[in-house]
Amino acid sequence: MDTQTDTLNNLGSRILSALKKNVPFVILVFLLILFSFIAPNFMTFGNIRTLVRQISFAGISAVGLMFVMISGGIDLSIGSQIVFSNVLLAIMMADWKLPLSAAIPLIMLVGTALGTINGLLYIKLKIAPLIITLGTSAIYKGFGYIINGSRNIMGFPDSFRWFGQGYVGGIPVPVIVLIIVALIGSFVLTKTYFGRKVFALGGNEEAARLAGVNIDRMKVILFMICGFITSITTILLLSRVFAGQTITGQGLEFDCLTAALLGGVSFKGGEGSIFGLMVGILIIGVLNNAMQLANFPDFSQTVVKGTVLLIAVAFDVYQKRRKSKVIVANTAS
């Protein structure tokens, strides 16, 4: 009898500590329960499907951003990369009449190139990536507007619809792409030695260099990865909207960044997991969706999202501080 209560207690405390480690997950579950009570049409298959599709675009790019963030960098140009590539892809298909089989690989190349530019500027100018990508963000967006010429570009092949609007077995294509990208990302980060180098770079750059890691090459590769993954988002978004506009993708990095921070990716690098990121992205998705269901005006939604970002950052800092307290305790002599 006693042993039974003991195991029960043990189990209880284990669950409790697991919950403590997964605060974002607890928040997500709480929000899901909360909104399913408040809004009766929230917890329906149709709505959840919409919700997940809505957030899958930011979610895919967030995987790329996470690679950069774990290495200690940041990419604020994600949204603007999409603005540029989105318009360019639209022009390729509508104006140049390129077939999908040419336009899609080409735009992936362009997206990767945009990321590469970020990376090269970062290692050559030796300026913080925050500033580099703030600059390139303005540049990419500017070029997007220039080549767009305030048109609404239309006239894509019908087969292009599938990417953003299609379903496979009832699941939206972007969601499937998100799952694939996330699985590959998780595999690379946790199982490969490339992944370890990413963590090493963010954890202690000098130690990584002295351990023989080619720091500069890693940095460029990581921005390339982010650009490449973002080009996938570009394709899906254009297919979803089905018209080339400069508005598409703008500010997407905000959701990516918030999701990453909510999901435990550290701003300082060296920490993060795909699971956490997905929880973060779902929290954003749930909030977005719930606010739309509740008919929140757009501006108030912005306020809420800003608040969530700050809470996420505060949480990141709090975690760090608590951890460093534990560290002090352990190393105290």
Catalog residues that contact other proteins under the rule CB under 8 A: 191-194, 196-197, 199-200, 203-204, 206-214, 270-271, 326-333
- Helix (H) or strand (E) segment spanning residue 193: helix 193-203
**Token pair of 19, please?**
């919950």
- CA 128 to chain CA centroid, nearest Å: 20
**Token pair of 201, please?**
């770079």
Whichever of 1 and 329 has its CB closer to other proteins, that residue is: 329
Longest dimension (CA), the chain: 78
Whichever of 16 and 310 has its CB closer to other proteins, that residue is: 16
The rounded distance, in Å, linking the Cα atoms of 230 and 148 is 19
Q: Give min distance, CB of 259 to other proteins, in A.
A: 22
The conformation of residue 160, written as its DSSP 8-state character, comes to: G
The conformation of residue 244, written as its DSSP 8-state character, comes to: B
- CA 103 to chain CA centroid, nearest Å: 24
Whichever of 253 and 271 has its CB closer to other proteins, that residue is: 271
Residue with the two structure tokens 């929000």: 31
Least Cα distance to 240 among 43, 45, 55 occurs for 55
Q: Give min distance, CB of 211 to other proteins, in A.
A: 5
Whichever of 14 and 97 has its CB closer to other proteins, that residue is: 14
Q: Give min distance, CB of 293 to other proteins, in A.
A: 40
The rounded distance, in Å, linking the Cα atoms of 85 and 245 is 11
**Token pair of 105, please?**
């690989």
Q: Give min distance, CB of 276 to other proteins, in A.
A: 15
Whichever of 1 and 210 has its CB closer to other proteins, that residue is: 210
Q: Give min distance, CB of 333 to other proteins, in A.
A: 4
Q: Give min distance, CB of 225 to other proteins, in A.
A: 14
The rounded distance, in Å, linking the Cα atoms of 162 and 172 is 9
DSSP track, 287-320: HHHHHHHTT--HHHHHHHHHHHHHHHHHHHHHHH
Q: Give min distance, CB of 329 to other proteins, in A.
A: 4
Whichever of 73 and 272 has its CB closer to other proteins, that residue is: 272
Whichever of 47 and 204 has its CB closer to other proteins, that residue is: 204
